Chains A and B, each alone.
Chain A
Amino acid sequence: MIRTEEVLLNVGPQHPSTHGVFRLVLTLDGEVITNAEPVIGYLHRGTEKIAENLQFTQIIPYTDRMDYVSAMTNNYVLVHAVETMMGIEIPERAEYLRVLAMELNRVASHLLWWGTYILDFGATSPLLYAFREREMILNLLNELSGARLTFNYMRVGGVKWDAPEGWLEKVRDFVPYMRKMLDGYHQLVSGNEIFLSRTKNVGTYTKEDALNYSLSGVNLRSTGVKWDLRKDEPYSIYDRFDFDVVTRDGGDAFARYECRLAEIEESLKIIEQAVEQFPEEGPIMAKVPKIIKPPKGEAFVRIEGSRGEIGCYIASDGKKEPYRLKFRRPSFYNLQILPKLLKGQNISNLISILGAIDIVLGEVDG
């Protein structure tokens, strides 16, 4: 007689493949996961509570620290919410700088994901390539904002700094370089047999599941839902650019991998066009009151972040601080489906499934 019993396995909160402080309590039957219980909150800093005592400009640095891999989009969602409430019109030049910053950041975010995802499978060299290219973007953003990760770049009404001399040319040169590197990535990884066997038909879910679990971004598009807020609810000046919304039908980890790499290409398209259309002259800040006081009422806006739909809800009582500030954090929503995906899977697939969702714990915990 073989004696069988369930084994409780604790993954994290400090575990390299969780990319942050995230804990999973797994119940195992042999090597098969029968139950998975995510435990989060290790990085909860109470951003929303802190913000209730801050002026809007003071809140912007806090948004940097939610999704710290893609801080520009977080910057944007806050200022966008305030601007929507106050009806502020943004100068052209500022809009282009914002779009360039956001798209560069999106590429950097996807690169980081690509490198670390492959690293999780045990291949170390792709990470080095990804970080080489990411470093160039961080340098560009550093020249623009003065920071490599927590940019604090956008302001209600525009951006803080104008592009330094020669910056646009550097961005223009980066696009073809990145395209070339992207080809290399595909040659290096995308056709690799080991990689394919670990991602194809792993962590599969349907379109219905994705909608039901409020998934967004690549996690949604990998099931065939053609939905991108940049295209479907255009904000800023995204309606001026010609780009595709990438979808795949597989709904598995490999589909999400393909989507992200293809999205880098689409972002490069936008960057290219934005550089072409970039206005020569013009202010980078709209005329806004010194102290920003959105009118009484509430607003909810959502934008397409690197990981999905970032939302920002502001309830204002006409004061300079928000009465209530709430962020819809895509990683927090996307992670919910994890227990469902893990049930019945072999434990070695855990890394592949979790990695493909692409979470940032700073965003999950808020």
Chain B
Amino acid sequence: MSGDKDLERLKKEAVAKAKAEAAAKRKAKELAAQGASEEAPADKSSGDTADDLAKKKAEAVAKAKAAAAAKRKAKELAAQGANEEAPADESSGDTADDLAKKKAEAVAKAKAAAAAKRKAKELAEQGASEEAPADESSGDTVDDLAKKKAAAVAKAKAAAAAKRKAKELAEQGASEEAPADESSGDTVDELAKKKAAAVAKAKAAAAAKRKAMGQAEGGDEGDDLAKKKAAAVAKAKAAAAAKKKAAEGGSGSGDDAKAKAIAAAKAKAAAAARAKAGKGAATEEPTEPKQPSPNQKYLDKYVEIIKKHLGEEVLEDSYINNLSKDVPTLVAKREAYYKIAEFLKFNESLGFDYLSEIHGSDFETHMEVYAHLYSYKNKQSVALKVKLDREQPEIESVARLWAGADWPECEAYDLLGIRFTGHPNLRRIMLGEEWIGYPLRKDYEPYDVEV
């Protein structure tokens, strides 16, 4: 009996210990997060537990955003690195040594990227926490939900700002131009820049050292393998170059490098032409004057009528979209969008009575709403576009003109966060009101990892 009891007690103790440990761990984690962002005092001062929860949520969102930014930046860096490497590859003598050097460079760049990423994360957290106290000061405990949402928005904004900063940093760090740019006034920025540059330099130096050592101890098996690989790569490249040269034909008399470059350029141009015009177009001269689209007359008509009735200044742009079956495309100015839509529907000679499609897109520099309209009377299509500010994507709803725009606008609101003013019932039609963030935005990071 007593043995059983002991066992029980031991078990209980173990459980308690585990729990305590888990709690401590959690606490440590929180503290770490708070410590980094200097949020601990702000947290304590508010003392509202519901608020705390909201803050944590918002923090998580901000962090996710920062992580997304860092990820994207790292990707860019990698792409940059690759781009920088590509021309060097062609011009160099393709020796194994060079390859190793390039590898070292790439490593250095990747490290710099990682450092910048870390920095960006910190920045994001800082930014988030800087804005948080302002939210707390309102002191209104009644409308918790509204507050939570506001806080989340503020933090998301801070995160976005931090992200932009991080992007800049990454670009600078990669090109090692940080020291030259130090005249900027932002101290946080400067510090980060310096650090990133220093890290990059240190890593590059270390990598170079390692490379030198590796060369000295030529007998190393791993190195041998690497060398062999590099040699194989070099050979493959040389073979490819020779092939290109052969394809070019008759260029043997010229400079080797030049001939190679010419062949490469030609191949690229051909590929581009093929991609552009599809089958059979490669034989055509790309400079051939384009036939005016059969829809040009419709576009001219639309633009003329709109300008006559609504003024010269309502359209930002108008063109024939050759990629999209030559559809006449109108880009409305934001203020004039609804007016133009209304005009397109009710004008006698236009009569676009059918809304075929409306949706939004996030182009990172701006948001866009794209509507495809059709006139059953004239059997004609038109695409109406409008560009929106990405921070405040808001536009008049056209659901009053075409009832069919109701749900699609809800969808754009749900997935992209575009607010349609004057919409009869704007709601998150797919994901529900509880969802945090707008998934179709390019910088979206899921808040709940389990989803």
Interface set of A (CB-CB < 8 Å, partner B): 40-41, 44, 46, 48-49, 84-89, 211-216, 225, 227, 232, 286-287, 289, 293-295, 297-302, 309, 311, 313, 315, 323-324, 326, 328, 332-333, 335-337, 365-366
* Cβ contact of B354, chosen from A86, A211, A335, cutoff 8 A: A211
B181 beta carbon closer than 8 Å to chain A: no
User: Contact between B275 and A86 (Cβ–Cβ < 8 Å)?
Assistant: yes
User: Contact between B324 and A299 (Cβ–Cβ < 8 Å)?
Assistant: yes
Q: Total interface residues on B, using CB and 8 Å?
A: 44
- With A40-B430, A299-B321, A336-B406 known, 6 other A-B pairs at CB within 8 A are A89-B279, A289-B274, A294-B323, A298-B321, A311-B372, A366-B411
Minimal beta-carbon separation of B272 from chain A (angstroms) = 9
Determine the residue in chain A with the shortest Cβ distance to B381: A233
* Cβ contact of A87, chosen from B277, B353, B383, B407, cutoff 8 A: B277
Determine the residue in chain B with the shortest Cβ distance to A81: B324
* Cβ contact of B357, chosen from A213, A300, A315, cutoff 8 A: A300
User: What is the bound-complex CA distance between A40 and B403, given in angstroms?
Assistant: 18
User: What is the bound-complex CA distance between A324 and B440, given in angstroms?
Assistant: 9
User: Contact between A286 and B276 (Cβ–Cβ < 8 Å)?
Assistant: no
Q: List chain A residues, Cβ under 8 A from B361.
A: 315, 324, 326
User: What is the bound-complex CA distance between A216 and B355, given in angstroms?
Assistant: 11
Interface set of B (CB-CB < 8 Å, partner A): 271, 274-281, 321, 323-325, 327, 353-357, 359, 361-363, 370, 372, 376, 379, 383, 402-408, 411, 415, 429-432, 439-440, 444
Q: List chain B residues, Cβ under 8 A from A214.
A: 354-356, 402-405
Minimal beta-carbon separation of A319 from chain B (angstroms) = 11
Minimal beta-carbon separation of A156 from chain B (angstroms) = 11
Q: List chain B residues, Cβ under 8 A from A311.
A: 356-357, 372
User: Contact between A333 and B407 (Cβ–Cβ < 8 Å)?
Assistant: yes
Query: Given contacts A41-B430, A41-B432, are A295 and B276 in contact (CB under 8 A)?
Result: yes
User: What is the bound-complex CA distance between A85 and B321, given in angstroms?
Assistant: 10
Determine the residue in chain A with the shortest Cβ distance to B353: A211
Q: Is the interface of A mostly helix, strand, loop or mixed?
A: mixed
User: What is the bound-complex CA distance between A333 and B276, given in angstroms?
Assistant: 34
Q: Can you give 7 A-B contacts (C-beta < 8 A)?
A: A40-B429, A87-B279, A214-B404, A227-B376, A295-B276, A323-B363, A333-B404
Q: List chain B residues, Cβ under 8 A from A89.
A: 278-280
User: What is the bound-complex CA distance between A48 and B362, given in angstroms?
Assistant: 12
Q: Is the interface of B mostly helix, strand, loop or mixed?
A: mixed
User: Contact between A328 and B430 (Cβ–Cβ < 8 Å)?
Assistant: no
User: Contact between A301 and B324 (Cβ–Cβ < 8 Å)?
Assistant: yes
Q: List chain B residues, Cβ under 8 A from A300.
A: 324, 327, 357, 370, 372, 383
User: Contact between A44 and B431 (Cβ–Cβ < 8 Å)?
Assistant: yes
Minimal beta-carbon separation of A213 from chain B (angstroms) = 5
Q: List chain B residues, Cβ under 8 A from A302.
A: 356-357, 372
User: Contact between A289 and B404 (Cβ–Cβ < 8 Å)?
Assistant: no
User: What is the bound-complex CA distance between A365 and B313, given in angstroms?
Assistant: 39
* Cβ contact of A286, chosen from B279, B376, B403, B405, cutoff 8 A: B279
Q: List chain A residues, Cβ under 8 A from B405.
A: 214
Minimal beta-carbon separation of B89 from chain A (angstroms) = 20
User: What is the bound-complex CA distance between A366 and B430, given in angstroms?
Assistant: 9
User: Contact between A85 and B323 (Cβ–Cβ < 8 Å)?
Assistant: yes
Q: List chain B residues, Cβ under 8 A from A213.
A: 403-404
Query: Given contacts A227-B376, A297-B323, are A328 and B357 in contact (CB under 8 A)?
Result: yes
Minimal beta-carbon separation of A228 from chain B (angstroms) = 12
Q: List chain B residues, Cβ under 8 A from A232.
A: 379
Q: List chain A residues, Cβ under 8 A from B363.
A: 315, 323
Minimal beta-carbon separation of B381 from chain A (angstroms) = 8
Query: Given contacts A212-B402, A300-B370, are A44 and B357 in contact (CB under 8 A)?
Result: no
User: What is the bound-complex CA distance between A309 and B355, given in angstroms?
Assistant: 12
* Cβ contact of B278, chosen from A44, A88, A212, A297, cutoff 8 A: A88
Minimal beta-carbon separation of A167 from chain B (angstroms) = 27
**Nearest 3 CB-CB pairings of A with B:** A214-B404, A87-B278, A299-B324
User: Contact between A48 and B440 (Cβ–Cβ < 8 Å)?
Assistant: yes
User: Contact between B404 and A287 (Cβ–Cβ < 8 Å)?
Assistant: no
Q: List chain A residues, Cβ under 8 A from B411.
A: 332, 366
Most buried by A among B323, B324, B404, B430: B323
* Cβ contact of A49, chosen from B277, B325, B439, cutoff 8 A: B439
User: What is the bound-complex CA distance between A88 and B408, given in angstroms?
Assistant: 31
User: Contact between B430 and A44 (Cβ–Cβ < 8 Å)?
Assistant: yes
User: What is the bound-complex CA distance between A36 and B241, given in angstroms?
Assistant: 69
Query: Given contacts A87-B277, A309-B356, A324-B361, are A333 and B431 in contact (CB under 8 A)?
Result: no
Minimal beta-carbon separation of A265 from chain B (angstroms) = 25
Minimal beta-carbon separation of A209 from chain B (angstroms) = 8
Minimal beta-carbon separation of A36 from chain B (angstroms) = 13
User: Contact between A211 and B376 (Cβ–Cβ < 8 Å)?
Assistant: yes
User: Contact between B372 and A295 (Cβ–Cβ < 8 Å)?
Assistant: no
Determine the residue in chain A with the shortest Cβ distance to B354: A211
Q: List chain A residues, Cβ under 8 A from B321.
A: 297-299
Determine the residue in chain B with the shortest Cβ distance to A326: B359
User: What is the bound-complex CA distance between A164 and B289, given in angstroms?
Assistant: 45
User: Contact between A225 and B376 (Cβ–Cβ < 8 Å)?
Assistant: yes
* Cβ contact of B370, chosen from A215, A293, A313, cutoff 8 A: A313
Query: Given contacts A40-B429, A302-B356, are A49 and B274 in contact (CB under 8 A)?
Result: no
User: Contact between B440 and A336 (Cβ–Cβ < 8 Å)?
Assistant: no
* Cβ contact of A84, chosen from B277, B279, B325, cutoff 8 A: B325
User: What is the bound-complex CA distance between A114 and B119, given in angstroms?
Assistant: 61
* Cβ contact of B404, chosen from A41, A336, A365, cutoff 8 A: A336
User: Contact between A295 and B275 (Cβ–Cβ < 8 Å)?
Assistant: yes
Minimal beta-carbon separation of B355 from chain A (angstroms) = 5
